[in-house]
A and B are shown apart, each in its own frame.
Chain A
Amino acid sequence: MSSWQVIMSPLWVAIKKNRGAHLSFWFLMTLVILAVFAPWVSPHSPTQVYPEHFRQPPIWLAGGGWPFILGTDDLGRDLLSRLIYGARVSLMVGFMVVSLSLSVGLILGVLAGYFGGRVDALIMRFVDVLMSLPSILLAIVIVAVLGPSLTNSVIAVSVVSLPNFIRIIRGAVLAEKVKSYVDASHGFGSTHFRVAVLNILPNCVAPIIVQSTLGFSDGILNVAALGFLGLGAQPPTPEWGAMLSDSKAYIESAWWLVTLPGLCILFVVLCFNILGDGLRDALDPKLKGR
């Protein structure tokens, strides 16, 4: 077995045992497939405007009709198509946020945990500063400086998620550092890099996977919040948070524009949270049943 299989196969067993996590996993996979094949799956283009069909209700309501299954928005764009493309945006955003904060978090977390002392104190002070600001506020401020756009909101949210990653990775490295295989490796004359990255890090994968899964939900939620505040994705990008923001004015007349994008956000975030919780229970038996 490759080392990848050594890590992943117990995880997969754990997911399969937990009904909620198992279900969430397949829901998310379906969503990924929908998102990847969005141009073929969605009935319309997400930006195609049908002026004669603006704010048309979903098909099962009076006034609704083919081919706009979930109705149209205030400009007459097909809601279903925009939601499917929105999945693309949100999953991509989650992936970007996790990759960004994970890669920086790995460097800083390993440095802090492995070397300790002043390096640790400095990095943890930085974490303290980031954590003393409410997450959305810090993200808003960063976007205010960089300018509102989807890319900048992803950067801002990655910075905000960073402290969690650093703390988890540092903690895991600290716990591994005292084990005897580390001493043994030092005894063979391994370099610091070799010990930290090739010996210690592979043993820290479990908490990192849990944190990354939960990081997806935080990232998606925060980027959607920025989109809602008008600081994230700009029109006509079909981003769920921005779509909600556009529909605020039609809360009384077009409820489907208000409810459906939010349900999508809730659903995806919930799936990632259930999956993350399930993985944590499986990987850290001490926390089971919490």
Chain B
Amino acid sequence: MLSLIGRRLLSSIPTLLGVSLVAFFLIRWVPGDPVMLMLGERGGSPELYQQMQAQLGLDRSLGEQYLKFLGHILQGDFGTSVVSRRPVLEEFLARFPATVELSLLALFWAVVLGVPLGVLAAIKRSSFWDYSLMSGALVGYSMPIFWWGMILILFFSVGLGWTPVSGRISVWHEVEVVTGFMLIDTWLSGGGVEVFADALRHMILPAIALGTLPLAAIARMTRSSVLEVLREDYIRTAKAKGLKHRQVVMNHALRNALIPVVTVIGLMGGTLLTGAILTETIFSWPGIGRWLVNSVAARDYPVIQGGILLISFVIITVNLLVDLVYLWVNPLLRDQI
């Protein structure tokens, strides 16, 4: 088991190196001379140019530059933002909890709704329920999330006035940042139910928008997985024993059908982050998605470089953890790898 974990850990190293190569060469693909870009309008003398070049390490060979770049990353140095002059890692960590909180809430409602709906569609196969649920899932699956967010705002914020349009909390509430998770921080800062509810109201629409794609995917996956399990021999045995249909589905089928669903949910990190970039832009949510989009607009290359490195580290780590948990709960798989 230990060697298995070790092997799985080792197998993610080439991927990490590959990502670092992409991030490294990214800056070098940018049209124009990076030194001139940094010196900007001031231009500067040849001495200043050489000084800047040496400072950026651009006067050395590519191999040397890459090793140095790797060395910096290993020490936790992901560069410094050109715009804010603050370390990229610090900026990332300040915004990361907001994205995680939103993603978790989105995933929560996607699971809570998606799994039962998928089971329902499978049990009532080829019925009106099945067709309408799966058509709905297909629409959700095809939904342009950036438009869906705007439609939610149009309907619930502009039309009905139920929810605020953007941000994480109303400006008049003062919330001290402790964990970075607004729903927890509002409790800790002792604002009471009112402030907590305010934070929740801000979060509902973006979470719905972000959770729609996972919801559709989970419902479809659950349905197909339950259908597959219902064809197994042990289900026939359970039915033959005279168990009620409900018992067969709930006790025998569901437990086995949910294993692949749980894996799919675990591997949704990438989907959620992709969605978060668009959702955060619409709802002015102060997370890493909006940060990166703004950095692209500002041509803040160190942030883009450090940002994709950090995000891919997060995704690779999450996928690794999911794999390990999966191995742990499903002994059959251990022999296969």
Taking a contact as CB atoms under 8 Å apart, the answer to whether B277 and A258 are in contact is no
Taking a contact as CB atoms under 8 Å apart, the answer to whether A258 and B308 are in contact is no
- Flag whether A70 is at the interface (Cβ < 8 A): no
Taking a contact as CB atoms under 8 Å apart, the answer to whether A228 and B278 are in contact is yes
| Stretch from A100-108, A128-136, A169-177, A193-201 forming part of the interface with B | A128-136
Taking a contact as CB atoms under 8 Å apart, the answer to whether B22 and A134 are in contact is no
Taking a contact as CB atoms under 8 Å apart, the answer to whether A140 and B22 are in contact is no
| Cα distance, A202 to B23, chains bound together (Å) | 38
Taking a contact as CB atoms under 8 Å apart, the answer to whether A244 and B150 are in contact is yes
Taking a contact as CB atoms under 8 Å apart, the answer to whether B18 and A125 are in contact is yes
Q: Which residues on A sit within 8 Å (CB–CB) of B245?
A: none
- Flag whether B163 is at the interface (Cβ < 8 A): no
| Cα distance, A129 to B270, chains bound together (Å) | 13
Q: Which residues on B sit within 8 Å (CB–CB) of A125?
A: 14-15, 18
Taking a contact as CB atoms under 8 Å apart, the answer to whether A258 and B150 are in contact is yes
Out of A131, A134, A273, which one reaches B142, CB within 8 Å?
A273
Taking a contact as CB atoms under 8 Å apart, the answer to whether A132 and B315 are in contact is yes
- Flag whether B205 is at the interface (Cβ < 8 A): no
Taking a contact as CB atoms under 8 Å apart, the answer to whether B144 and A126 are in contact is no
For the complex, count residues of B whose C-beta is within 8 A of A: 51
Taking a contact as CB atoms under 8 Å apart, the answer to whether B146 and A259 are in contact is no
Taking a contact as CB atoms under 8 Å apart, the answer to whether A255 and B154 are in contact is yes
Within 8 A of A (CB), among B287-337: 292-293, 296-297, 299, 301, 304, 308, 311-312, 315-316, 319
Q: Which residues on B sit within 8 Å (CB–CB) of A269?
A: 142, 144
Q: Which residues on B sit within 8 Å (CB–CB) of A134?
A: 270-271, 273-274, 277, 311, 315
| A-B Cβ contacts below 8 A, count | 134
Q: Which residues on A sit within 8 Å (CB–CB) of B297?
A: 230
Q: Which residues on B sit within 8 Å (CB–CB) of A252?
A: 158
**A136 — nearest CB in chain B belongs to which residue?**
B274
CB distance from B190 to the nearest CB of A (A): 35
Taking a contact as CB atoms under 8 Å apart, the answer to whether B150 and A266 are in contact is no
Out of B21, B138, B146, B304, which one reaches A225, CB within 8 Å?
B146
- Flag whether B143 is at the interface (Cβ < 8 A): yes
- Flag whether B151 is at the interface (Cβ < 8 A): yes
Out of A141, A146, A262, which one reaches B150, CB within 8 Å?
A262
Within 8 A of B (CB), among A219-253: 221, 224-225, 228-231, 241, 244, 248, 251-252
**B23 — nearest CB in chain A belongs to which residue?**
A141
| Stretch from B26-34, B43-51, B65-73 forming part of the interface with A | B26-34
- Flag whether B224 is at the interface (Cβ < 8 A): yes
For chain A, give the interface size range. 35 or more
Taking a contact as CB atoms under 8 Å apart, the answer to whether A143 and B138 are in contact is no
| Cα distance, A136 to B145, chains bound together (Å) | 12
Taking a contact as CB atoms under 8 Å apart, the answer to whether B274 and A229 are in contact is no
| Cα distance, A141 to B296, chains bound together (Å) | 8
| Cα distance, A129 to B277, chains bound together (Å) | 20
| Cα distance, A241 to B150, chains bound together (Å) | 12
Taking a contact as CB atoms under 8 Å apart, the answer to whether B31 and A141 are in contact is no
Taking a contact as CB atoms under 8 Å apart, the answer to whether A133 and B278 are in contact is no
CB distance from B99 to the nearest CB of A (A): 11
Taking a contact as CB atoms under 8 Å apart, the answer to whether B227 and A290 are in contact is yes
Within 8 A of A (CB), among B1-48: 14-15, 18-19, 21-22, 26, 29-31
Taking a contact as CB atoms under 8 Å apart, the answer to whether A147 and B31 are in contact is yes
Out of A132, A136, A273, which one reaches B138, CB within 8 Å?
A273
Contact A129-B138, Cβ < 8 Å, known A241-B146, A258-B151, A266-B144: no
- Flag whether B196 is at the interface (Cβ < 8 A): no
Taking a contact as CB atoms under 8 Å apart, the answer to whether B143 and A140 are in contact is no
Within 8 A of A (CB), among B120-136: 125
Taking a contact as CB atoms under 8 Å apart, the answer to whether A251 and B18 are in contact is no
Q: Which residues on A sit within 8 Å (CB–CB) of B301?
A: 144
Taking a contact as CB atoms under 8 Å apart, the answer to whether B274 and A244 are in contact is no
Taking a contact as CB atoms under 8 Å apart, the answer to whether A129 and B18 are in contact is yes
**Interface positions of A (Cβ within 8 A of B):** 125-126, 128-129, 131-138, 140-141, 143-147, 217, 221, 224-225, 228-231, 241, 244, 248, 251-252, 255, 258-259, 261-262, 265-266, 269-270, 273-274, 277, 289-290
Q: A141-B26, A266-B142, A290-B224 are in contact. List 10 more A-B contacts (CB 8 A).
A: A132-B312, A136-B274, A137-B292, A137-B308, A224-B144, A244-B147, A251-B154, A262-B151, A266-B147, A269-B142
Q: Can you pick out 17 interface pairs between chain A and chain B where the beta carbons lie within 8 Å of each other?
A: A125-B15, A132-B15, A132-B312, A133-B22, A133-B315, A140-B296, A141-B304, A221-B142, A228-B281, A230-B297, A241-B146, A258-B151, A265-B144, A266-B139, A269-B142, A270-B142, A273-B141
Would you list the 10 A-B pairs with minimal beta carbon distance, nearest first? A262-B147, A129-B18, A290-B224, A134-B274, A269-B142, A270-B142, A144-B296, A134-B273, A136-B274, A228-B146
